[in-house]
Amino acid sequence: MTVAPLRPYRSALYMPGSNARALDKAKSLPADVVILDLEDAVAPDAKETARAQVMAAVASGGFGHRQVVVRINALDTPWGAADLAAAAITKPDAVLLPKPNSSRDIMTASVELRRAGAPDSLRLWAMVETPRAILNLSDIAGAATLAGSRISCLVLGTNDLVKDTRAELDATRTAALYWLSASVTAARAFGLTVLDGVYNNFRDADGLARECAQGRMLGFDGKTLIHPDQIAATNAAFSPSDADVATARKIIAAFDLAENKGKGVITLDGKMVELLHADMARRTVAIADAIAAGG
């Protein structure tokens, strides 16, 4: 299992690989991750142009602290193999694989990347967007334990899940809760990052804020986005608040006191605090520090 270095994954903005203007903007937007899309956002007759444009953008660099991810077409489409081969030699941080249903699909893409010359550091991110993927989450995320697997992140594809299941999502996303929680649980079981699906109504700031808060409560590291206007609110929602950081520092300091050395449980402000809370507090501070160091 690979344990990724601690870094923020609050906001991951998709942009159509066919939109040169959007690709150019990627280098200046305050997103933690940019996902250059060759799949659903690109029409079939624009696939080759988009691939060339995306690879040129990745090769030109200049993305700073942003993680650069290329979403390829599925390997059973006419474009998938060429997308994967081009990404292997252009070396974004990760390739995002659409529609995997099993660990076998993860391993096939991992092995093909190696054959195409990808460095070991190139990660594989997996969309979770089919009913079979939901049923097989433990197998898909568990691919992280297999030799040669590159999987490091799960990305929810809620629009596809809605289409395939015929569920309807309202503001509470009740119908999606099983998919969302199962994905977070599977990701945590195998040390993966996990990102929530997109909020389609990009002019609705209140709705986005509500969905970000829900995603954060469910345990997601961040959210995938479709429009630059969604970045600021998402970064805010998935950052530890000043109050969170202050509480975390207080917990760490309390366990460091001489009188508490060696204790597994203490009382702080009238509440039970265990060593596991100190672990959580150290993570909160580390993420806050990583956010402060980025940007």
Under the rule (CB under 5 A), what is the footprint of Mg ion? 129, 157, 160
Binding footprint of ligand COA, residue count (CB under 6 A): 14
Tell which residue, 51, 57, 49, has the closest CA to residue 71: 51
Q: Which does 160 bind (CB under 5 to 8 A by kind): Mg ion, ligand COA, none?
A: Mg ion
Q: Which residue reads 């009740």 in tokens? A: 174
Residue 9 Cβ vs ligand COA, minimum distance, rounded to whole Å: 16
- Which 3-state string (H, E, C) describes 172-240? CCHHHHHHHHHHHHHHHHCCCEEEECCCCCCCCHHHHHHHHHHHHHHCCCEEEECCHHHHHHHHHHHCC
Q: Which residue reads 């601690």 in tokens? A: 6
Is 15 a binder of ligand COA (CB under 6 A)?
yes
Q: Determine if residue 173 is left, alpha or beta; phi over 0 gives left, psi from -120 to 50 gives alpha, anything else beta.
A: left
Nearer to ligand COA, 20 or 285 (CB): 20
Query: How many Cβ atoms from other residues are within 10 Å of residue 111's Cβ?
Result: 13
Residue 68 Cβ vs ligand COA, minimum distance, rounded to whole Å: 13
Tell which residue, 62, 16, 59, has the closest CA to residue 38: 16
Residue 127 Cβ vs Mg ion, minimum distance, rounded to whole Å: 6
Q: Which does 37 bind (CB under 5 to 8 A by kind): ligand COA, Mg ion, none?
A: ligand COA
Footprint (CB under 6 A) of ligand COA, residues 171-200: 198
Residue 187 Cβ vs ligand COA, minimum distance, rounded to whole Å: 20
CB 154 within 8 A of CB 194: yes
C-alpha 74/C-alpha 53 separation (Å) is 19
Nearer to ligand COA, 227 or 249 (CB): 227
Footprint (CB under 6 A) of ligand COA, residues 213-232: 226-228
Q: Which does 7 bind (CB under 5 to 8 A by kind): ligand COA, Mg ion, none?
A: none
List, as one string, the DSSP characters of 117-142: T--TT-EEEEEE-SHHHHHTHHHHHH
Residue 251 Cβ vs ligand COA, minimum distance, rounded to whole Å: 38
C-alpha 51/C-alpha 83 separation (Å) is 7
Nearer to ligand COA, 42 or 144 (CB): 42
Q: Which does 109 bind (CB under 5 to 8 A by kind): ligand COA, Mg ion, none?
A: none
| Residue of 12, 33, 36, 41 that binds ligand COA (CB under 6 A) | 41
At 59, which helix (H) or strand (E)? Answer: helix 47-60
Residue 155 Cβ vs Mg ion, minimum distance, rounded to whole Å: 9
Binding-site string for ligand COA from residue 103 to residue 122, where x marks contact by CB under 6 A and - marks none: --------------------
C-alpha 66/C-alpha 80 separation (Å) is 24
Binding-site string for ligand COA from residue 21 to residue 40, where x marks contact by CB under 6 A and - marks none: xx--x-----------x--x
Count of all residues that appear for the chain in the document: 295
Which residues are at the interface with ligand COA (CB under 6 A)?
13-16, 21-22, 25, 37, 40-41, 198, 226-228
